[in-house]
């Protein structure tokens, strides 16, 4: 399966819009998303939910799933089906090698 010449399972880059994930992910930074990443509690994820796409931290409480922003000015919310986890953030790209961060 391909979209625009890329496999749906290939990692891709996104630019962060807004400050809901600051200070770890400031507005304008580039993140690398792996669609094959197995999300777990604490993972940074891209989720399609209620007609929108969200970049948040996944929090798990038993069978319940929540999306939590890092910026305390924003509120988190519970994920209820239907939703689709589009991938996990595996890297933040910096202009210099020392600025690059990797995530599990």
pLDDT, one tens digit per residue, over 3-16 is: 555 667 899 999 99
Report residue 95's pLDDT band, with 50, 70 and 90 as the boundaries: low
Residue 66, pLDDT above cutoff 90:
yes
Instruction: Tell me which residue has tokens 């939910």.
Output: 49
- Residues 32-53: tens digit of each pLDDT: 999 999 999 999 999 999 999 9
- Predicted TM-score (pTM) of the model is 0.84
Which sign does the torsion angle of CA 43, 3, 52, 14 carry? Answer: positive
Q: 2-95, superfamily in CATH? A: Umud Fragment, subunit A (2.10.109.10)
Question: How many angstroms from the chain centroid is the CA of residue 12?
Answer: 12
């Amino acid at each position: 399966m391909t979209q625009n010449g890329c496999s749906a399972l290939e990692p891709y880059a996104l630019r962060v819009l807004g400050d809901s994930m600051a200070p770890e992910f400031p507005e304008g930074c580039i993140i690398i998303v792996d669609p094959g990443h197995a999300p777990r509690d604490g993972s940074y994820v891209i989720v399609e939910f209620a007609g929108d796409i969200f970049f948040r931290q996944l929090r798990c409480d038993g069978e319940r799933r929540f999306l939590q922003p890092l910026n305390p000015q924003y509120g988190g919310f519970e994920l209820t089906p239907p939703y689709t986890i589009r991938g996990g953030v595996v890297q933040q790209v910096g202009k210099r090698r020392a600025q690059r961060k990797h995530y599990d």
